[in-house]
């Protein structure tokens, strides 16, 4: 049996469960996880030039421009992830980004999570966070013991700017408008596989079965 490096993309709107599905893929298949959002947040926290540019767009519910994210991702892939298998989350979001990625790496598959918009709105607009610890609560799925207060410290929970209802709706609109062509980009190259559902526990078994078959076919 010969081993082949696997390069995969996972897509889906904000709140679609990409983080949960991705963590299970990484756990079960031994991939490195590359999250564009985490990379951008690191740049924002460090107050780099890229970070300051990105923050202006994120705070207003817009996608970060191509030139910002493309440069960041290309540098990461070339410097840290050239010789390993990985799962890329949050990139590409435009056809231009997809083209730039194709020029430097061969993608094996693109996974898309198709979750109904009403489910996503329920998930995202109910989130609250304890800033100091990062603990996340949800009005419906994981409510605090006392409304609006952290279970451990009793400190006030806050709704992040990008979880406000109006911002969430704007983010989703931007996502669907800009990302639909990317789905077609990978669909036309026979690389796209889509999974529909409302719960990660419902979706992941099908994702796992597909990837097991893909790994077996590519590693023989």
Query: For 143-190, what is each residue's pLDDT tens digit?
Result: 999 999 999 999 999 998 878 889 889 989 988 898 899 999 999 999
pLDDT at residue 7, rounded to an integer: 95
Rounded to 5 degrees, φ, ψ at 34 are -120, 110
Quick check: bond before 45 cis, omega within 30?
no
Annotated binding residues for AMP, as ranges? Answer: 41, 62-64, 90-93, 97, 160, 171
Grade residue 3 by pLDDT with cuts at 50, 70 and 90. low
Q: What is the model's pLDDT at position 220?
A: 64
Structure tokens at 38: 């985490």
Q: Which residue has the higher pLDDT, 210 or 54?
A: 210
What number is the average pLDDT over the span 20-34? 94
Q: What share of the chain in percent tops pLDDT 70?
A: 98
Confidence of residue 2 (pLDDT cuts 50, 70, 90): very low
**Mean pLDDT for the chain?**
90
Between the alpha carbon of residue 21 and those of residues 14, 45, 72, the distances in Å are 13, 26, 24
Q: Is the pTM of this model over 0.85?
A: no
| Pairwise CA distance, residues 208 & 70, whole Å | 29
Positions marked active-site: 18, 93, 127, 160, 171
Instruction: Find the mean pLDDT for residues 204-220.
Output: 90
Tokens of 6: 């696997």
For the chain, the 3-state helix, strand and coil shares in percent, each to the nearest 5, are: 50, 15, 35
Domain positions in the chain are 7-217
Binding site for GTP, by residue number, is: 15-20, 127, 136-137, 200
Residue 6: predicted pLDDT:
93
167: tokens are 């911002």
Arithmetic mean of pLDDT, 192-214: 96
Q: What is the CATH number of domain 7-217?
A: 3.40.50.300
Average pLDDT over residues 49-71: 84
What is the reported pLDDT for 19?
87
CA angle 2, 21, 60 (to 5 degrees): 125
Decide if pLDDT at 78 tops 50: yes
**DSSP letter, residue 92:** -
Give the count of beta carbons closer than 10 Å to the beta carbon of residue 141. 10
Say what the pLDDT of residue 85 is: 93
Mean pLDDT for 85-109 is 93
């Amino acid at each position: 049996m010969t081993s082949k490096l696997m390069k995969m993309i996972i897509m889906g709107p904000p709140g679609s469960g990409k983080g949960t599905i991705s963590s299970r893929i990484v756990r079960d298949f031994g991939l490195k996880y590359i999250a564009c959002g985490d990379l951008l947040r690191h740049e924002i926290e460090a107050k780099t030039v890229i970070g300051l540019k990105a923050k202006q767009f994120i705070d207003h519910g817009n996608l970060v421009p191509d030139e910002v994210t493309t440069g960041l991702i290309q540098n990461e892939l070339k410097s840290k992830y050239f010789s390993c298998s990985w799962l890329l989350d949050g990139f590409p979001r435009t056809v231009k980004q997809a083209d730039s990625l194709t020029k430097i790496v061969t993608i094996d598959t693109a996974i898309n999570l198709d979750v109904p918009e009403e489910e996503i709105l329920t998930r995202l607009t109910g989130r609250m966070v304890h800033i100091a610890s990062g603990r996340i609560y949800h009005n419906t799925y994981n409510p605090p013991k006392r409304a609006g207060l952290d279970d451990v410290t009793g400190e006030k929970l806050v709704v992040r700017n990008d979880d406000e209802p109006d911002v969430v709706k704007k983010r989703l609109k931007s996502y669907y408008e800009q990302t639909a062509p990317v789905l077609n980009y990978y669909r036309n190259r026979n690389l796209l596989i889509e999974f529909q559902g409302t719960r990660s526990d419902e979706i992941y078994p099908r994702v796992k079965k597909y990837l097991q078959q893909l790994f077996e076919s590519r590693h023989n």
